[in-house]
A and B are shown apart, each in its own frame.
Chain A
Amino acid sequence: MGKPTRVTNRIRALRFAAGEMTQADLADKVGVTRQTVIAIEQGRYSPSLEMAFQIARVFDVPLDDVFQYPKEK
């Protein structure tokens, strides 16, 4: 609980690139609540692999274009 995830994402940028898709629209397409989309965007929640693929599929891009995991220093 409360542990920040190291997974970063470009969902916000991808939403705007996809015709300024709203968080609610993305939530409807993936089948989650808008609050979950907000939590993922803000890095407060790491989605399951399945949800991550569903999000990538909405934008029609590879998973790596949506989610990134920084290398250990």
Chain B
Amino acid sequence: MPFEEKISWVNAVVMAIVPVAYFVIMLGRLGDTPAADISYQWPLLIAIGASIVLTIVGSILAGIGTGISAELRGRSASTEIDRKDERDKQISRHGDLIGFSVSSFGMVGVLALTMLEYEYFWIASVLYLSFVVGTLVGSVVKIVSYHRGF
């Protein structure tokens, strides 16, 4: 598996776990608290911070795994990790483009909520969801492209 594909897996897994935990907790609070009174700021910042940290840790682990695997096969670890060819770049661009398009649709929803003067909680949630879904879709597109052909 190319190192770039491993990074896509890390992104996909992190974007599937952290936001789900955030939304389960926050939507659970809606049961007994009005949306306007929900204190979402710190949980959201923690979720974003956790995503960044987990992505960095996952990427480091992917690098270590790739390096060990390369050395066992008698190949240069740095070459295996650093090598990024035209196909990797095309797949990356393709995934990012689709992910960005998905996020853009979400932004329209954010705009609508803002114009309709919804509570900040909903605006922040949809904004975060747009970012998350866009990143997740982009990562999945990259993984599928690596396997089905590009």
Any chain B CB within 8 A of the CB of A13? no
| Proximity string of chain B (28-54) to chain A, C-beta cutoff 8 Å, 1 when within and 0 when not | 000000000000000000000000000
The reply to whether A31 and B83 form a contact with Cβ atoms under 8 Å apart is yes
Closest to A35 in B: B2
Any chain B CB within 8 A of the CB of A1? yes
- In the docked arrangement, what's the CA distance between A39 and B150, Å? 8
Any chain A CB within 8 A of the CB of B85? yes
Any chain A CB within 8 A of the CB of B96? no
Give the total number of A-B pairs whose CB atoms are below 8 A apart: 54
| Proximity string of chain A (1-17) to chain B, C-beta cutoff 8 Å, 1 when within and 0 when not | 11110000000000000
| Proximity string of chain A (21-49) to chain B, C-beta cutoff 8 Å, 1 when within and 0 when not | 00010001001110110010011110110
Chain A proximity of B146: nearest CB distance (Å) = 7
Closest to B91 in A: A1
Chain B proximity of A2: nearest CB distance (Å) = 4
Q: Is the interface of A mostly helix, strand, loop or mixed?
A: loop
Any chain B CB within 8 A of the CB of A51? yes
User: Which parts of B1-39 form the interface with A (CB within 8 Å)?
Assistant: 1-2, 5
Bin chain A's interface residue count.
10 to 19
Chain B proximity of A23: nearest CB distance (Å) = 12
| Proximity string of chain B (95-128) to chain A, C-beta cutoff 8 Å, 1 when within and 0 when not | 0000000000000000000000000000000000
Closest to A40 in B: B87
- In the docked arrangement, what's the CA distance between A44 and B79, Å? 24
The reply to whether B94 and A1 form a contact with Cβ atoms under 8 Å apart is yes
The reply to whether A33 and B146 form a contact with Cβ atoms under 8 Å apart is no
Interface residues of A (CB under 8 A from B): 1-4, 24, 28, 31-33, 35-36, 39, 42-45, 47-48, 51
Given contacts A36-B87, A44-B150, A48-B86, 5 further A-B contacts (CB under 8 A): A1-B145, A1-B149, A32-B86, A35-B146, A36-B86
